[in-house]
Chain A
């Protein structure tokens, strides 16, 4: 069922969507070029009814160029169809945010930034999700050691010790 979706995608974006394949278990997947992922996602949501993005994650293929791959697992509620898009992102390259398409992509993109260091352009609030702000490095990269040591972090400054922390967005 999703094969038709992938075929429609390849027909509509022949330059951006390449190498569609059927993965194990019958998943319909395709590779998408980094620059066009936002357009493709908009098309999928508007035309093919993929109104939910349950899971967006990244993989570090150290040794390959481009190094990272961001995987978008999408779901269409009305059609009960799933599709997987894989976007290769190199080190230092930026990926456009899809939060304008699905608000739920927010934290998944923050996770990709936090854990892999993939910068997301036009993200409403790109900061670390699971690690603390002063963490150095990106833990899930293959060259980050399993038991990496971090420098001691100086205590965060509280501007007014009597009144407490400030606005939610600052402290």
Chain B
């Protein structure tokens, strides 16, 4: 049944005497290109994306991505709310690792205000960010397993993620949309005994992670489906603007936490895994390794952090504590001004970037000196990867599109803002 076109398999492996080469004696029957719409509602496209693929048999010849189905007007809504009211909006950007969005935005505002947060707040931000990074990577590994049919993996990953979420619920009050950071610090301190519980949770997550690693990394089917798939070269990746695990998979060792350390990343010891091939398997391996490194970071931070203030003691930026609000006139005034008019951020513009789970999450803020942002621009880490998706999948099979699409960790919230 094999004709000249549409023979599955990697062309490079076709040897001289194999059946595929003998097809040169057959009369080629040109087949028509089929356009397949992997529409916005599709089990494999996380969130909503429309990928229109043009197929030649099963080989992808062209792909066009259409986004915007989850565009909720983040930037416009933020222009009409105060600086602090933006935090719940940022939660819903990358909703799988929302604390990192909160912290990224808080750092950007603090850059404009020239504020330095207290030490304990920095440690709390890093601990919660890394816990959410663990959740994000677990979700991704689980989703990749799920898409490829290894459904056990997603159940394990979700179990581990749930344990981390329990700790985060105790810390910030919500599993997913944490709304934890504030301008100048964080909202809540760790509850009693949280540190010990978190260490135990990390131990349990480590067990699950090692089990997932053992099940997947040397799994013949998994490796075959991921190795050599969705390859992008280092130069191309940089040209497109890749950042994060997808860039490091190509061999470029760029990590914002090492290149431009913020918060307490210069005080903790961790490695940054870098891949070589730029394919999907490397991206998966990097994420598993980052799970281990995040674990290290959280343990070190829990050991290093000292008790102290969790928010800057400047009532122009942080709400005064309730005894002062109810007891002193200055407290009432500060609270009222902040609630009604918003924190007055000095006029100017700033671009601040952090290492989110997917890459460089940037916030470009413009302030006109008032209580509401003039402009908030979010740099979604996944946009460059989506731009490059057609070139990563051209010439490959349709079935290869799914692991490539998974490995870039497309989270609809941040892409579509």
Contact = CB atoms under 8 A, between A and B. Distances in A.
A165 B240 contact: no
Nearest to A146: B80
Nearest to A106: B387
Given A84-B351, A164-B35, A168-B54, A59 B260 contact: no
Dominant SS among interface residues on chain B: mixed
Interface residues of B, number: 52
Given A23-B348, A104-B241, A146-B76, A55 B362 contact: yes
B86 to A, nearest CB: 15
A23 B364 CA distance: 12
Residue with the highest number of chain A CB atoms closer than 10 Å, among B33, B241, B386:
B241
B214 interface: no
Nearest to B240: A104
A80 interface: yes
Interface in B347-377: 348-353, 360, 362, 364, 366, 374-375, 377
A23 B360 CA distance: 20
Contacts, number: 114
B417 A52 contact: no
A168 B68 contact: no
Given A23-B350, A77-B254, A106-B387, A140 B76 contact: yes
Given A107-B383, A129-B67, 4 more contacts: A52-B238, A54-B360, A103-B239, A108-B383
B52 interface: yes
B377 A55 contact: yes
Contact of B37 (A139, A144, A164): A164
Given A54-B353, A130-B416, A24 B348 contact: yes
Interface string B42-81: 0000000000111000000011100110010101110010
A154 B111 CA distance: 47
B377 A168 contact: no
Interface string B361-404: 01010100000001101010001101110000000000000000
A25 interface: yes
Interface in A131-156: 131-132, 139-140, 144, 146
A132 B68 contact: yes
Given A23-B348, A52-B241, A131-B71, A57 B35 contact: no
B259 interface: yes
Contacts of A73: 351, 362, 364, 379
